[in-house]
Structure 1
Amino acid sequence: MTAADLISRPIHTLENAMQQPLSVPPDLLRRQSLIVAGGSTLLALAGCGGGQEDLSQREPTELQPPRLDGGRSLTPGLRRRALDVGNERQSVLLSRQTPTWVYYTQDTTVVDDFRWYISPLHQGNTQVGAYSLGPIVQGEASWWTVSSDAITLSQNGAQITVRGNLDTDPSDSFYDIGRHLWLSDASIHRDRQLLQGDSVRAKWYFFQAPNGYWYIIPDPQYAPPTAPLVKRFAELNGKYNWVDVDGSGQVALFNWDQGSPILRFSPVTGYADANVGLRHNMDGQYGAQCVDLMHHYIDSALGIAYPHGFTGDAYSIFQNAPDSSTRESSIYGTVTFQKVINTPSAVPEPGDIIFWSSPDPGHVAIVIEADINRFQSLDQNWVNPPSPDGTPAARVEHNYHNVAGWLSPRW
């Protein structure tokens, strides 16, 4: 199996591939024995370069690596809560998340050497550290420092470039940023050798939800965007475990702001599934018109009570909309609608409200998924054929002919 094979395999098989390297190779198991035998911080450890290693220079204390759900430590200001399906979905899927770590593998064709690493996404310097996943010790995940300045990230954090010659570092010592202690073991050189000189894509991102737990989600280029595939970083019987979060009906949306990712989950797929074949007449006039579906979506899926200030016919709503406007939401707190003009390079996101300028008085629908050439949307009063009394909502394939633009809800 090659690294390319792992990237191209269907996502439902990737979890097994992700599990495989999380079992610590035999030579690295000596580190766990060392940790147990050594107790707390190991002092003045000898490196293979000769003499005593200077362990006074600590790793940055502001780094908060991903922790297991059974871990003892929490990021300051967060309080861990008991989990059930409902409150976990609310904490993870109904909040805007900020991924802080990128999770990736080295470029290798040898399955036995397949390892996983993390690097921080929010660092001011151009190079960031690389940390490899170690064993679980007393309920804590180990993250070994391979190098504190090994990685250069692309502007959107998705491309990872590793400098060469990491193995010229002769030290056996490394700092475990997961357990906050220094250790020493010659097998740290193996991690340096495996990773040095690589250029790889991001595979997953870690984020810490408001409930205090850590979660992981694949990069949009690594997994279909219609499947959020959110997993909780967990422990089971002393081994790493990846607990599925019910992401049904949601679409993961990534937006990048100067290298910092913003993650949201749109409810549009669940909304579309629930409303195909139904009629909505929000204003009680003229039957089920296209604008009524827009009003119903904003009210029921986005939590903005009708009437919400978007009035008029379809195209006039878009024409009169400001570049940005914010509404109170019972689900997301506030939702800001950003106006986007259609251009040849613009692509709407799932959940955007898309507008046509003709035929008069225009048309409006809810985007389900899109690319640069076509999109699928949920349309009311568009098929079978359009009627003065309105026809039911349906999934429809479109090109961008006569599309004026869209309102993109953000929270």
Structure 2
Amino acid sequence: MRPYNTFREKRIGKRVDYDGVYGYQCVDFAKFYIDTCLGLGRVGRLGNAKDTPNAPFFADWEKIWGTNDLMQGDIIVKTRGKYGHIAIVDRIANGMIYVLEQNGSGKNSGSGEGENAIRLKGYPFDFYDMVLRCPKIFENLQEERRFIEEKLLERQEAVRADPESNLLKAKLISTQDYQNSIRYIKK
């Protein structure tokens, strides 16, 4: 089972109004992720995105300032601006943080439509300020690690069996790149 990836594939292009207040906000999506993907139960009031690290719900979570210690599935928070922003880390690639987010366009806030629907988007590292992490995120990531390791072995065997196939080599390289982009070992 690949909890985060299954969650991501089911949600892209959709929208979530978790609490029925203010439309389809980024915090709604974070709450939905915590409840359904992490299985931590219903999430109450968190406030604006920039205030979430101080919410009682996150009292026992690891809080990491900066963005140099990211893993797939981490909740990442921008604490600057009027409301801030919150999203889920998908991967690190090409010098960018790719996140799964809702209401990220900065226009037509809360509509959940177009660029405000759930999407994958890349941002520079300095766009976000901190990371929220609980043990369940790391557990989910270990399931993904096992999947990747099996896939790597399978693709390495295929390349050994047919070393002239550029398609097989490309698939192996793509899997290795993905493995490097999600970082499943704690610093």
Q: TM-score normalized by structure 1?
A: 0.30
What secondary structure, in the 3-state scheme, does the structure 1 residue paired with 2:126 have?
coil
Residue 394 of structure 1: which of 119, 124, 127 is its match?
119
**CA offset at residue 319 of structure 1?**
4.0
Amino acid at match of 1:393: I
Q: Aligned partners of 2:46, 2:135: CA distance in 1, in Å? A: 20
Residue 304 of structure 1: which of 36, 40, 58 is its match?
40
Q: Which has the higher strand share?
A: 1
Q: Aligned partners of 1:394, 1:284: CA distance in 2, in Å? A: 20
Q: Residue in 2 aligned with 1:270?
A: 6
Q: Residue in 2 aligned with 1:129?
A: none
Distance change in 2, residues 1:408/1:371 (3 Å): farther
| Percent of residue pairs identical | 27
Distance change in 2, residues 1:374/1:298 (3 Å): same
- Unaligned residue ranges in structure 1 (runs of 5+): 1-246, 251-266, 326-336
Q: Aligned partners of 2:29, 2:14: CA distance in 1, in Å? A: 10
| Aligned 1:326-341 pairs, distance under 5 A | 337-341=61-65
Structure with the greater relative contact order (CA < 8 A, sep ≥ 6): 1 or 2? 2
CA RMSD, 1 decimal? 2.4
Distance change in 2, residues 1:312/1:324 (3 Å): closer
**CA offset at residue 322 of structure 1?**
8.7
Q: Residue in 1 aligned with 2:173?
A: none
Q: Residue in 2 aligned with 1:314?
A: 49
What secondary structure, in the 3-state scheme, does the structure 1 residue paired with 2:42 have?
coil
**CA offset at residue 349 of structure 1?**
0.3
Confirm whether residue 368 of structure 1 aligns to residue 90 of structure 2: yes
Distance change in 2, residues 1:365/1:399 (3 Å): same
How many residues are aligned here? 133
| Aligned 1:114-133 pairs, distance under 5 A | none
Amino acid at match of 2:86: V
What secondary structure, in the 3-state scheme, does the structure 1 residue paired with 2:134 have?
strand
**CA offset at residue 404 of structure 1?**
1.4
**CA offset at residue 271 of structure 1?**
1.1
Deviations along 1:121-150, one digit per CA (max 9) or x if unpaired, are: xxxxxxxxxxxxxxxxxxxxxxxxxxxxxx
Q: Residue in 2 aligned with 1:406?
A: 131
Q: Aligned partners of 2:37, 2:51: CA distance in 1, in Å? A: 23
Which one has a bigger Cα radius of gyration? 1
| Aligned 1:104-183 pairs, distance under 5 A | none
**CA offset at residue 320 of structure 1?**
4.5
Residue 102 of structure 2: which of 380, 387, 407 is its match?
380
Amino acid at match of 1:286: Y
**CA offset at residue 358 of structure 1?**
2.8
Deviations along 1:66-121, one digit per CA (max 9) or x if unpaired, are: xxxxxxxxxxxxxxxxxxxxxxxxxxxxxxxxxxxxxxxxxxxxxxxxxxxxxxxx
Q: TM-score normalized by structure 2?
A: 0.63
Distance change in 2, residues 1:272/1:289 (3 Å): same
**CA offset at residue 270 of structure 1?**
1.6
Residue 25 of structure 2: which of 266, 286, 289 is its match?
289
Amino acid at match of 1:397: G
